[in-house]
Amino acid sequence: MLKNVVIVNDWASIEGGAANVAINSAIGLAEMYSVYLFSAVRPIDSRLKKVGVNVICIGKKDILHDDNRLRAICKGLWDNETKREFERLLTTLDPAESIVHFHTWTKALTASLYAVTAKMDFKTVITLHDFFCFCPNGGFYNYQRNEICTKKPMRLTCLACNCDVRSYPQKIWRSMRMMIQNRVLAKNRKIYFISISDLTRRICTSLINSSRNSRKVYKVVDPVEINENQPNKLLDNNVYLFMARLSPEKGGELFCQAITDLNLKGVVLGDGYLRNELMERYPNIEFVGWVTGKDKQVYFKQAKAFVFTSLWYETFGLSVAEARSYGIPCIVPDSCAASEQVIDGETGYLFKTGDLDSLKEALIKYENADIQVMQNNIMNNFIADNWSLTSHIKNLVQVYNEIIIES
């Protein structure tokens, strides 16, 4: 019988999509189990202790923000101090009654934690918020050429390729980290994966099955911040909305160029190191920065369409699901996981990933479409309960119970 769930995440507060799922699932699971959050970076979300989640936060910086670069390089590969703290926690728990669930561990924690779960024979679940389990740079994406990478991970052609977002030396460092990770993961007898989209499941299942250790892959979609009010009045709106981190792989420049070429009204929600450059090049686009809660709702309510231009696979497309809850048709690239949420020509449009002309063609089609019919199609098929935190917790518990029974 399952009694304990240990959630592992780099951050102890919400700093992104994966952390949002980790923190909120810990809060939801605390109603049923003794829940522990093992993390590295403060601050600690105040809600955790209020619901009885036991928080163990090491209090270290993430790798990128550690001023001691030599320490960051070394401890980013393997961290014995954090490993000992993790072992101290797991020693207090019975492996037969416990599950260790990893969300993120590559920004501040390390694969050294998997050495502990292997040694102590804990059942271990990994949610695939990214592709770091299989790809050194975590995205099957060549940042130097701005295109999806189809090379076999960790083969010679992969190792020789400078695909990293920063530099080739960092690619080598990340490859070393993955070699270490692969060795410790192979020692874990009881590892299970959770994918958050069919695309992620297909990619990872093929890679898992080609390895020596066959692993089971479940599918549990992430919870989404759902609009609970009336859907948008699309015919009153003229804003094409984009929301993402402003980094190359998210395709912000593609969005800005297409909107500019067609003389449409574009709004960008998000931040990142490309923001100033994009603001300078595209003065016609409104750049808002990151917004949350009611401020974000204001912009979603103004949207005529949501444009998702990611150049890489993505593992889900959280913002697309959120937009759909407002009844907003979405224009999405055909190669990413978010395309699973769009029926081309019925609830939005698909375009060829990274192709400016294809995106503009989709936008022109949308300008001439009966968008009210599209919205009706979305709302007739969108079941809000399927995307709720309650539904997410229910599906997680089902996976946990199956693992406990199987073991």
In a domain, 135, yes or no: yes
- The residues, any chain, with a CB within 8 Å of residue 152's CB and separated by 6 or more, are 158
User: Minimal CA–CA distance to 362: which of 232, 233, 235, 240?
Assistant: 240
Q: Let me know whether 112 and 255 are in one domain.
A: no
Q: What is the pTM of this model?
A: 0.92
- The residues, any chain, with a CB within 8 Å of residue 358's CB and separated by 6 or more, are 351, 352
- The residues, any chain, with a CB within 8 Å of residue 235's CB and separated by 6 or more, are 371, 372
- Ranges of residues in the chain with a pLDDT under 70 are 209-214
> What pLDDT does residue 211 have?
53
Decide: helix, strand or coil at residue 364.
helix
CB burial of residue 212 (10 Å; 0-12, 13-18, 19+)? exposed
Pairing, β 348-351 against β 265-269: unpaired
In a domain, 78, yes or no: yes
CB burial of residue 92 (10 Å; 0-12, 13-18, 19+)? exposed
Which residues are bridge partners to 331 per DSSP?
A: 307, 349
In a domain, 189, yes or no: yes
Q: Let me know whether 255 and 324 are in one domain.
A: yes
In a domain, 41, yes or no: yes
Q: Let me know whether 248 and 145 are in one domain.
A: no
User: Minimal CA–CA distance to 207: which of 180, 178, 172?
Assistant: 178
Distance CA 44, CA 16 (A): 14
User: Minimal CA–CA distance to 399: which of 154, 192, 153, 115?
Assistant: 192
In a domain, 88, yes or no: yes
Contact indicator for 318, 24 with CB cutoff of 8 Å:
no
Which residue matches tokens 């890679």?
207
Domain extent, residue 378, equals 234-387
User: Minimal CA–CA distance to 322: which of 351, 345, 349, 293?
Assistant: 293
Cα-trace Rg, the chain: 21
Cross-sheet strand order for the sheet of 303-307: 286-289, 265-269, 239-243, 303-307, 330-333, 348-351
Q: Let me know whether 41 and 173 are in one domain.
A: yes
Q: Let me know whether 280 and 250 are in one domain.
A: yes
Instruction: Count the neighbouring beta carbons within 10 Å of the beta carbon of residue 288.
Output: 16
Q: Let me know whether 171 and 242 are in one domain.
A: no
Q: Let me know whether 251 and 382 are in one domain.
A: yes
> What pLDDT does residue 229 have?
87
Which residue matches tokens 């094409």?
240
Q: Let me know whether 283 and 381 are in one domain.
A: yes
User: Minimal CA–CA distance to 56: which of 30, 90, 95?
Assistant: 90
DSSP annotation of 250: G
Peptide bond into 43 cis (omega under 30): yes
User: Minimal CA–CA distance to 19: which of 265, 318, 286?
Assistant: 318
> What pLDDT does residue 209 have?
63
Q: Let me know whether 361 and 398 are in one domain.
A: no
DSSP annotation of 232: P
Pairing, β 4-8 against β 191-195: unpaired
> What pLDDT does residue 213 have?
57
Instruction: Give the helix ranges, DSSP H, for 187-230.
Output: 198-209
The tokens for 108 are 């501040």
Q: Let me know whether 382 and 392 are in one domain.
A: no
Q: Let me know whether 241 and 161 are in one domain.
A: no
> What pLDDT does residue 210 have?
52
The tokens for 101 are 């669930």
In a domain, 328, yes or no: yes
> What pLDDT does residue 167 have?
95
The tokens for 81 are 């101090």
What CA dihedral angle connects 335, 316, 17 and 193, to 10 degrees? -120
| Number of folded domains that form the chain | 2
Q: Let me know whether 281 and 345 are in one domain.
A: yes
Q: Please give the backbone phi and psi of residue 364, each rounded to the nearest 5 degrees, phi first.
A: -65, -40
In a domain, 229, yes or no: no
Contact indicator for 338, 316 with CB cutoff of 8 Å:
yes
Which CATH number do you get for residue 319? 3.40.50.2000
Contact indicator for 157, 151 with CB cutoff of 8 Å:
yes
Q: Please give the backbone phi and psi of residue 164, each rounded to the nearest 5 degrees, phi first.
A: -70, 155
The tokens for 395 are 């599906």
In a domain, 281, yes or no: yes
